[in-house]
Structure 1
Amino acid sequence: MNAFPGRIEKEGQHSVTGRYLEIRDLVKSYDGRQQAVRGISLDIAKGEFVSFLGPSGSGKTTTLMMVAGFEQPTAGHIVLGGREIAPIPPHKRNIGMVFQNYALFPHMTAAENVGFPLRMRKRPAAEIARRSAEALAMVGLGDFAGRQPRELSGGQQQRVALARALVFEPDVLLLDEPLGALDKNLREHMQVEIKRIHRELGITTIYVTHDQTEAMTMSDRIAVFSQGVVEQFAAPLDVYLRPATRFVGGFVGDSNFFAATSRPGMLEIEGLGSLSLPQAPASASGRYDVLVRPEAISLWRDGSAAAGHCVVPFTVTALVNYGDSVLLMGSSGTVQLRARIPFVQATEIREGAQLQLSWRHVDMHCIPAA
């Protein structure tokens, strides 16, 4: 008998449907004056993998802790599967939690750590042994059941913590920056493992991180937090290519921002001139922050402008070599620019070089200025 009856047997086929976890007008204040979380509302579908992304102090972990039950909301509602859970204590919510520091019991073996939630639920010993073994096998530690935490690497300890959070078949899995203590290679490996397990089980997952790459590569949707509010809740590519606010555009990925004014069919970019745009944005103020990603900018070699492109002179002031690409930093007149181009195109470029750069009009994203 499978310890995980809800798992999806065919790899990659988990469904994301409907409202399952509803967060409504959630507020958290510790002192009655300042709000750490300010009226957050999110709908998370069953089987969805959602990342809470944001800088330290943005409210993402506080929100996660309220979902887990370790913090009580000052106001608002948390509804799971149609049931209000805010008044329910953590151990009765059927929610799995993985912490950054693993929180394993040092005197217990891996199997005993994984089986602990089942013992607290007073399950039969045979069932605990069987399900603990299956959970450890699922995270690739079937042969490590008898080892204590001190005998395991950091990555192995994190897998034990993950198995412990899954062994009792939780309705929701919460992960609070679980990979922050791991080195880069191990962190990337664990990202793959967590996504594999998510695909197999189809479990609703919330993953808190300040790492943009983790959020972009692992998530179905990303909630970008800033100062206690969610600035945008959307699919990774929408967050990256069509950020809702300047904060999102600046926090997620590298960016160039230009101040601009729109009028019918035209966009006037300060320091760069006017562009003819058939679908130029229009708003009451007409003021915009225009975003162009550095990787959307390329070298322009034929010396002439082209339809559908913005072509500007550029003076290189610094270069950063990433191996496969080179980041060119410099200016076009009074405007600072960053362009990321393939390494093979930059082998002869030096500081002080005079170049022309270009980008397509369609690669510009206009955000109404605050």
Structure 2
Amino acid sequence: MGDSTLKSPPSMVEGKLDMEQLQIKDFTAESSILEQPSTLFPKITGKIGDLVKDYNYTLYKLREETGTDTSPTAQNLDTILKLIGTVKLHGAHADIVIHSDNTMQLQSRNVTGLSREKDLYNIAKSILPLEAEVLDLKKRYRERFMELNPGVEIKEEFSTIIAGEWIGPGIQKGVAISDLPRKYFVILSVSINNAWLPNEPYADIHNEAVGIYNISRGGFYHEELVFNDVKRSREKLHAHTLAVEKECPFAKTFGISGVGEGIVWKAEHPLGSDARFWLKTKGLQHQVTNTEKLKNKPGGTELENAKNFAEAAVTVNRLEQGWAYLEEMGIERDMKGIGAFMKWVIHDVEVEERTEIEEMLINQALLKKTMTAMCKSWYMKRLDQM
């Protein structure tokens, strides 16, 4: 990581972002490219196409700042991104947000203020009593950060975020980590100065004695995303992912054999400090979409295409996520909750499948109408099973 006081944007080398000169500042809230910072953990794309598009757009904006004329849709086919992967755990996401005065705030993916009274999985009940241990983790991360980045100031206006996964019995089904003897908090990523740190240099920071583990326990994966051979890159990532699904490396360290969920890939730093350049790959049992398989199929009518897309995007796994969202938000799962359920599922599809929707020219009005009918039918059947 470089000097955060650098004022100029990163230089270009043969049409690519110069990784050696790219600075953290260019991917923090100070950059004109990004939105205002949020403590909520970012949504990670499951689409290589989205990552490539974000990379190309970022390059376009940086070139625009330097006065170099280019198109935001230009393909930088000579680009090779080095990716570093860690095991994706199927639990309940939870973050520990530590403010400058060392007060702690717990949050889930959707709820910014978990408490003993408002907490579906009793995360707060387990983590809040560990204040001294959590503050020690903050201290160790900051000390390591200063060692690795001499001369870089830690900006107190940005909270330290220890993002993790709450795993163990009673949280999820069908994965090996559900057979752990108790619930654990696993550190996935840490943010300092509103930028996510690389995992490997901080792999030894944890406190297993109190149930706080580091995702590094499951090992690291190294691959490349080659822009001019995305198909081959996807195959390599998929091979690693299927191996994790067959045997979860994280659970295996506890002597437990069984199914894993997938892998989270992050671009090599400093680019990886921005979650837009992360990618999640899931095993077949945990995929929430099959829309990419439609790309090579012959086109039909607008209605037929919208119906086929909806059937590929609104999978049982995605519907179950929407069902779980209602429980997390305290929304009664009855007929009054059907609106919130449909809104969540449809929005999730529109966000995660945006590239495919555009590329396949899917009529969004027809798609939304079809998805609404599918969600209503599934929800009604789910209510009957209660």
TM-score interval (norm. to shorter): under 0.3
Q: Which structure has the larger Rg over C-alpha atoms?
A: 1
TM-score by length of 2: 0.24
Q: Which structure: greater helix fraction? A: 2
Q: Which has the higher strand share?
A: 1
The structure whose RCO (Cα within 8 Å, separation 6+) is larger is 2
